[in-house]
Amino acid sequence: MDRNITETDLISYFYNECDNQIAAHIKSNLDYNPQWIDFLNDLQKVADLMKPTINPHATSVQIILEESLYEENHSI
Amino acid sequence: MIADGVLIKRYLEGNQAAFEALVKRHKTRIYSSVLAIVNDHYLAEDIFQETFIKAIHSIRQGKYNHEDKFLPWALRIARNLAIDLIRQKKRLPMVITSDGQDLFQTLNIFDKSQEEIHIETDEISMLKSWIHQLPEEQKEVLILRNYAELSFKEIAEITNTNINTCIGRMHYAIINLRKMMEKSSVKIKY
Protein backbone atom coordinates (compact mmCIF):
# COMPACT_ATOMS: atom_id res chain seq x y z
CA MET A 1 0.00 0.00 0.00
CA ASP A 2 1.41 3.36 -1.00
CA ARG A 3 -0.96 5.46 1.08
CA ASN A 4 -2.47 5.60 4.55
CA ILE A 5 -5.85 4.04 5.28
CA THR A 6 -8.52 6.67 5.92
CA GLU A 7 -11.82 6.44 7.77
CA THR A 8 -13.63 6.58 4.43
CA ASP A 9 -11.66 3.45 3.41
CA LEU A 10 -12.88 1.84 6.63
CA ILE A 11 -16.49 2.78 5.76
CA SER A 12 -16.13 1.12 2.34
CA TYR A 13 -14.48 -1.89 3.98
CA PHE A 14 -17.24 -2.20 6.58
CA TYR A 15 -19.94 -2.26 3.90
CA ASN A 16 -17.97 -4.64 1.64
CA GLU A 17 -17.59 -2.01 -1.06
CA CYS A 18 -13.85 -1.66 -0.81
CA ASP A 19 -11.19 -2.25 -3.44
CA ASN A 20 -9.79 -5.81 -2.92
CA GLN A 21 -6.25 -4.59 -2.35
CA ILE A 22 -7.31 -2.07 0.31
CA ALA A 23 -9.60 -4.62 1.95
CA ALA A 24 -6.75 -7.14 2.21
CA HIS A 25 -4.46 -4.47 3.67
CA ILE A 26 -7.03 -3.44 6.29
CA LYS A 27 -7.73 -7.05 7.23
CA SER A 28 -4.10 -7.98 7.68
CA ASN A 29 -3.29 -4.83 9.69
CA LEU A 30 -6.39 -4.56 11.84
CA ASP A 31 -4.76 -5.99 14.95
CA TYR A 32 -2.06 -3.29 14.91
CA ASN A 33 -4.50 -0.39 14.54
CA PRO A 34 -6.86 -0.10 17.52
CA GLN A 35 -8.25 3.18 16.16
CA TRP A 36 -9.49 1.31 13.08
CA ILE A 37 -11.16 -1.23 15.34
CA ASP A 38 -12.82 1.58 17.32
CA PHE A 39 -14.15 3.17 14.14
CA LEU A 40 -15.42 -0.14 12.75
CA ASN A 41 -17.09 -0.83 16.11
CA ASP A 42 -18.90 2.51 15.86
CA LEU A 43 -20.11 1.63 12.38
CA GLN A 44 -21.28 -1.75 13.65
CA LYS A 45 -23.04 -0.12 16.57
CA VAL A 46 -24.98 2.23 14.28
CA ALA A 47 -25.76 -0.55 11.78
CA ASP A 48 -27.05 -2.82 14.57
CA LEU A 49 -29.45 -0.14 15.77
CA MET A 50 -30.61 0.78 12.26
CA LYS A 51 -31.86 -2.56 11.04
CA PRO A 52 -35.03 -2.46 8.92
CA THR A 53 -37.53 -3.99 11.34
CA ILE A 54 -40.67 -1.85 11.19
CA ASN A 55 -43.45 -2.94 8.88
CA PRO A 56 -46.15 -0.76 7.39
CA HIS A 57 -49.67 -1.20 8.71
CA ALA A 58 -51.50 -4.15 7.16
CA THR A 59 -54.12 -1.74 5.77
CA SER A 60 -51.46 0.04 3.70
CA VAL A 61 -50.35 -3.24 2.17
CA GLN A 62 -53.99 -4.17 1.48
CA ILE A 63 -54.63 -0.84 -0.27
CA ILE A 64 -51.58 -1.40 -2.48
CA LEU A 65 -52.60 -4.94 -3.39
CA GLU A 66 -56.15 -3.81 -4.21
CA GLU A 67 -54.73 -1.04 -6.40
CA SER A 68 -52.59 -3.55 -8.22
CA LEU A 69 -55.70 -5.65 -8.94
CA TYR A 70 -57.73 -2.61 -10.01
CA GLU A 71 -55.09 -1.58 -12.51
CA GLU A 72 -54.96 -5.07 -13.91
CA ASN A 73 -58.73 -5.35 -14.37
CA HIS A 74 -59.06 -1.97 -16.05
CA SER A 75 -56.10 -2.03 -18.38
CA ILE A 76 -56.91 -5.26 -20.18
CA MET B 1 -34.96 -16.32 -4.98
CA ILE B 2 -36.85 -15.04 -8.00
CA ALA B 3 -35.34 -11.78 -9.26
CA ASP B 4 -37.37 -8.56 -9.04
CA GLY B 5 -37.35 -8.19 -12.83
CA VAL B 6 -38.87 -11.65 -13.23
CA LEU B 7 -41.58 -10.90 -10.65
CA ILE B 8 -42.48 -7.69 -12.48
CA LYS B 9 -42.60 -9.53 -15.82
CA ARG B 10 -44.91 -12.17 -14.30
CA TYR B 11 -47.13 -9.46 -12.79
CA LEU B 12 -47.47 -7.86 -16.21
CA GLU B 13 -48.48 -11.27 -17.56
CA GLY B 14 -51.33 -11.32 -15.03
CA ASN B 15 -49.74 -13.10 -12.09
CA GLN B 16 -50.98 -11.20 -9.02
CA ALA B 17 -49.00 -13.38 -6.63
CA ALA B 18 -45.80 -12.10 -8.24
CA PHE B 19 -46.66 -8.53 -7.26
CA GLU B 20 -47.55 -9.62 -3.74
CA ALA B 21 -44.15 -11.28 -3.47
CA LEU B 22 -42.49 -8.04 -4.59
CA VAL B 23 -44.36 -6.03 -1.94
CA LYS B 24 -43.58 -8.62 0.74
CA ARG B 25 -39.88 -8.61 -0.21
CA HIS B 26 -39.38 -4.85 -0.02
CA LYS B 27 -42.06 -3.47 2.32
CA THR B 28 -39.96 -3.49 5.50
CA ARG B 29 -36.90 -1.80 4.02
CA ILE B 30 -38.97 0.81 2.20
CA TYR B 31 -41.22 1.54 5.18
CA SER B 32 -38.36 1.62 7.71
CA SER B 33 -36.42 4.03 5.47
CA VAL B 34 -39.39 6.32 4.88
CA LEU B 35 -40.28 6.38 8.57
CA ALA B 36 -36.68 7.24 9.45
CA ILE B 37 -36.72 10.09 6.93
CA VAL B 38 -40.05 11.68 7.89
CA ASN B 39 -40.18 10.56 11.56
CA ASP B 40 -43.98 10.41 11.46
CA HIS B 41 -46.03 7.22 11.18
CA TYR B 42 -48.96 8.86 9.36
CA LEU B 43 -46.76 10.48 6.72
CA ALA B 44 -44.72 7.29 6.38
CA GLU B 45 -47.86 5.21 5.72
CA ASP B 46 -49.06 7.74 3.12
CA ILE B 47 -45.70 7.85 1.38
CA PHE B 48 -45.40 4.06 1.48
CA GLN B 49 -48.81 3.62 -0.19
CA GLU B 50 -48.22 6.39 -2.72
CA THR B 51 -44.81 4.95 -3.63
CA PHE B 52 -46.26 1.56 -4.52
CA ILE B 53 -49.27 3.07 -6.30
CA LYS B 54 -46.93 5.16 -8.47
CA ALA B 55 -44.81 2.05 -9.02
CA ILE B 56 -47.88 0.03 -10.10
CA HIS B 57 -48.90 2.73 -12.59
CA SER B 58 -45.40 2.96 -14.05
CA ILE B 59 -45.05 -0.81 -14.33
CA ARG B 60 -48.41 -1.23 -16.01
CA GLN B 61 -47.63 1.59 -18.42
CA GLY B 62 -44.46 -0.28 -19.40
CA LYS B 63 -42.22 2.42 -17.94
CA TYR B 64 -40.28 0.11 -15.61
CA ASN B 65 -36.87 -0.55 -17.14
CA HIS B 66 -34.67 -1.12 -14.09
CA GLU B 67 -34.42 -4.93 -14.32
CA ASP B 68 -33.75 -6.25 -10.81
CA LYS B 69 -33.21 -2.83 -9.23
CA PHE B 70 -36.76 -2.41 -7.95
CA LEU B 71 -35.71 -1.30 -4.46
CA PRO B 72 -33.51 1.68 -5.48
CA TRP B 73 -36.15 2.70 -8.01
CA ALA B 74 -38.97 2.55 -5.44
CA LEU B 75 -36.84 4.38 -2.89
CA ARG B 76 -36.19 7.16 -5.38
CA ILE B 77 -39.98 7.57 -5.72
CA ALA B 78 -40.38 7.43 -1.91
CA ARG B 79 -37.58 9.95 -1.37
CA ASN B 80 -39.12 12.43 -3.83
CA LEU B 81 -42.54 12.05 -2.18
CA ALA B 82 -40.99 12.52 1.27
CA ILE B 83 -39.17 15.67 0.17
CA ASP B 84 -42.40 17.09 -1.31
CA LEU B 85 -44.42 16.28 1.82
CA ILE B 86 -41.79 17.70 4.17
CA ARG B 87 -41.72 20.91 2.09
CA GLN B 88 -45.52 21.12 2.20
CA LYS B 89 -45.52 20.52 5.95
CA LYS B 90 -42.95 23.26 6.47
CA ARG B 91 -45.23 25.69 4.63
CA LEU B 92 -48.19 24.86 6.88
CA PRO B 93 -48.65 27.03 9.95
CA MET B 94 -47.64 25.10 13.06
CA VAL B 95 -50.34 24.72 15.72
CA ILE B 96 -48.69 25.02 19.13
CA THR B 97 -50.37 23.57 22.21
CA SER B 98 -50.40 25.31 25.61
CA ASP B 99 -47.28 23.38 26.65
CA GLY B 100 -45.37 24.51 23.58
CA GLN B 101 -45.63 21.25 21.57
CA ASP B 102 -46.46 20.97 17.87
CA LEU B 103 -50.07 19.73 17.85
CA PHE B 104 -49.39 17.54 14.80
CA GLN B 105 -46.67 15.69 16.71
CA THR B 106 -48.63 15.36 19.96
CA LEU B 107 -51.61 13.76 18.21
CA ASN B 108 -49.77 10.47 18.22
CA ILE B 109 -52.69 8.08 18.14
CA PHE B 110 -50.93 5.62 15.87
CA ASP B 111 -51.11 2.22 17.52
CA LYS B 112 -47.69 0.68 17.80
CA SER B 113 -47.53 -3.08 17.75
CA GLN B 114 -46.32 -4.87 20.87
CA GLU B 115 -43.25 -5.94 18.94
CA GLU B 116 -42.48 -2.35 18.03
CA ILE B 117 -42.84 -1.22 21.63
CA HIS B 118 -40.34 -3.86 22.74
CA ILE B 119 -37.87 -2.78 20.06
CA GLU B 120 -38.12 0.87 21.15
CA THR B 121 -35.38 0.69 23.75
CA ASP B 122 -33.60 3.72 25.12
CA GLU B 123 -30.69 3.07 22.80
CA ILE B 124 -32.80 3.05 19.66
CA SER B 125 -34.77 6.11 20.77
CA MET B 126 -31.57 8.00 21.48
CA LEU B 127 -30.05 7.02 18.16
CA LYS B 128 -33.21 8.11 16.34
CA SER B 129 -33.12 11.50 18.02
CA TRP B 130 -29.42 11.92 17.19
CA ILE B 131 -30.01 10.92 13.57
CA HIS B 132 -32.71 13.58 13.28
CA GLN B 133 -30.25 16.20 14.48
CA LEU B 134 -27.88 15.41 11.58
CA PRO B 135 -27.84 17.55 8.43
CA GLU B 136 -30.35 16.17 5.89
CA GLU B 137 -27.78 14.87 3.42
CA GLN B 138 -25.88 12.96 6.14
CA LYS B 139 -29.10 11.54 7.58
CA GLU B 140 -30.21 10.42 4.13
CA VAL B 141 -27.05 8.41 3.39
CA LEU B 142 -27.13 6.80 6.83
CA ILE B 143 -30.77 5.76 6.37
CA LEU B 144 -30.45 4.54 2.79
CA ARG B 145 -27.28 2.54 3.57
CA ASN B 146 -28.52 0.94 6.80
CA TYR B 147 -32.32 0.73 6.68
CA ALA B 148 -32.66 0.31 2.92
CA GLU B 149 -29.38 -1.61 2.54
CA LEU B 150 -28.55 0.16 -0.71
CA SER B 151 -24.97 0.32 -1.95
CA PHE B 152 -23.20 3.69 -2.05
CA LYS B 153 -23.41 3.51 -5.84
CA GLU B 154 -27.20 3.11 -5.66
CA ILE B 155 -27.44 5.94 -3.10
CA ALA B 156 -25.34 8.16 -5.37
CA GLU B 157 -27.76 7.49 -8.24
CA ILE B 158 -30.82 8.27 -6.11
CA THR B 159 -29.35 11.46 -4.66
CA ASN B 160 -27.72 12.63 -7.91
CA THR B 161 -24.25 12.69 -6.37
CA ASN B 162 -21.24 10.39 -6.64
CA ILE B 163 -19.94 7.51 -4.52
CA ASN B 164 -17.19 9.56 -2.86
CA THR B 165 -19.68 12.25 -1.83
CA CYS B 166 -21.97 9.61 -0.31
CA ILE B 167 -19.13 7.96 1.63
CA GLY B 168 -17.94 11.40 2.75
CA ARG B 169 -21.42 12.21 4.04
CA MET B 170 -21.53 8.89 5.86
CA HIS B 171 -18.15 9.74 7.39
CA TYR B 172 -19.39 13.09 8.70
CA ALA B 173 -22.57 11.43 9.98
CA ILE B 174 -20.51 8.94 12.01
CA ILE B 175 -18.24 11.70 13.32
CA ASN B 176 -21.29 13.72 14.40
CA LEU B 177 -23.02 10.71 15.97
CA ARG B 178 -19.80 9.93 17.89
CA LYS B 179 -19.79 13.48 19.27
CA MET B 180 -23.44 13.18 20.31
CA MET B 181 -22.79 9.78 21.93
CA GLU B 182 -19.87 11.22 23.89
CA LYS B 183 -22.02 14.08 25.17
CA SER B 184 -24.95 11.83 26.04
CA SER B 185 -25.58 10.06 29.32
CA VAL B 186 -27.01 7.08 27.38
CA LYS B 187 -24.20 4.85 26.24
CA ILE B 188 -24.71 2.54 23.30
CA LYS B 189 -23.49 -0.95 24.16
CA TYR B 190 -21.39 -3.04 21.79
pLDDT in tens, B14-32: 999 999 999 999 999 999 9
Could you tell me the pLDDT band of residue B94, with boundaries at 50, 70 and 90?
A: low
What is the predicted pLDDT for the residue at B184?
A: 77
Mutate to test the interface with A, among B48, B77, B120, B139 (most CBs of A within 10 A): B48
Instruction: Tell me whether B132 touches chain A (CB under 8 Å).
Output: no
Percent of chain B with pLDDT over 90: 59
Q: Is the pLDDT of residue B4 over 70?
A: yes
In this predicted structure, the answer to whether residue B142 has a pLDDT above a threshold of 60 is yes
**What is the DSSP secondary-structure string of A45-76?**
HHHHHT---PPPPHHHHHHHHHHHHHHHHHH-
State the average pLDDT for chain B.
84
Which residues in chain B are contacts of A14 at CB distance < 8 A? none
B105 pLDDT higher than 50: no
The residue among B20, B79, B29, B26 whose CA lies nearest residue B50 is B79
Per-residue pLDDT, averaged over B71-93, amounts to 85
Distances from the Cα of B80 to the Cαs of B50, B54, B55, B158, in angstroms? 11, 12, 13, 10
Amino acid, res. A54? I
Instruction: Sketch out chain B's domains with CATH numbers.
Output: 1-93 (1.10.1740.10), 110-190 (1.10.10.10)
Nearest to B24 by CA among A13, A41, A60: A60
Chain A residues in contact with B25 (beta carbon < 8 A): none
What residues of chain B lie within 8 A of the CB of A65, using their CB? 16, 19-20, 23
pLDDT of residue B77: 95
Q: Among A7, A35, A46, A61, pick the best mutation site for testing chain B contact (most B Cβ within 10 A).
A: A46
Q: What is the pTM for the complete model shown?
A: 0.80
- pLDDT tens for the 76 residues of chain A, in order: 667 899 999 999 999 999 999 999 999 999 999 999 999 999 998 998 898 989 999 999 999 999 999 654 544 4
